Amino acid sequence: MIHHCIKCTKLRGNPVGQKIANLPQCRTEPEAPCTHTGVDVFGAFKVKDNRNKSKRYGLLFTCMASRAVHLEVLEDMTPDCYINSLHSFLAIRGPVSVLYSDNGTNFIRASNEFEKLAKELSGPRIKEYLSTKQCSFSFSTPTANYMGGT
């Protein structure tokens, strides 16, 4: 009788632990700072330029291992503005092997432009430089914004 009673089963049952997935390998292995970096855009902040009002966006770079944060300001959401901010980040923080981001159109277009640029450039010195400094882009699943891990 007690075995089939729902109230008794709940009161006498053992607590169950939550199953948690392991952290990604890029977050657990010791590496140089910003080797694996997450990227995201936030905001639309209204800024006053003299008498004009304009929108500005924030670009957030997050190191996956040390959780260090680097902020850049985007004047608009075009891929060119993102590429300029990425160059600024790379000049300050050093080379990045993987950039993790969501499927924002500016991220995808910038990735395509980098691939096209690498194909168009020729010459042994340029190819050698790109092969040592090249970073890859990793995009999360389109409807799963929690996949970035940051």
**pLDDT tens column, 78-94:** 888 888 888 899 889 88
pLDDT at residue 104 is higher than 80: no
User: What is the C-alpha separation between 150 and 138, in angstroms, rounded?
Assistant: 13
Which pLDDT does position 149 carry in this prediction?
58
pLDDT at residue 21 is higher than 70: yes
- For the residues 45-70, what does the mean pLDDT come to? 89
Which pLDDT does position 146 carry in this prediction?
63
Local confidence band at 126 (pLDDT 50, 70, 90 cut-offs): low
- For the residues 58-69, what does the mean pLDDT come to? 89
Global pTM value = 0.72
User: What is the C-alpha separation between 150 and 136, in angstroms, rounded?
Assistant: 18
Contacts of 3 (CB under 8 A, 6+ apart): 9
* DSSP 8-class letter at 123: S
Q: Domain 35-141 maps to which CATH number in 2.170.190.11, 1.10.260.40, 3.40.50.10360, 3.30.420.10? A: 3.30.420.10
Return the percentage of the chain with pLDDT > 90, whole number: 9
- For the residues 47-59, what does the mean pLDDT come to? 89
DSSP 9-74: HHHHPPP-PPP-PPPPHHHHS--STTSEEEEEEEEEEEEEETTEEEEEEEEEEEETTT--EEEEEE
Length of the chain in terms of residues written = 150
- pLDDT tens digit string along 67-79? 889 999 998 888 8
Q: Which of the residue ranges 6-10, 32-36, 98-102, 138-142 would you say has the lowest mean pLDDT?
A: 138-142
- For the residues 117-127, what does the mean pLDDT come to? 66
Which pLDDT does position 97 carry in this prediction?
86
- With tokens 């995009």, the residue in question is 139
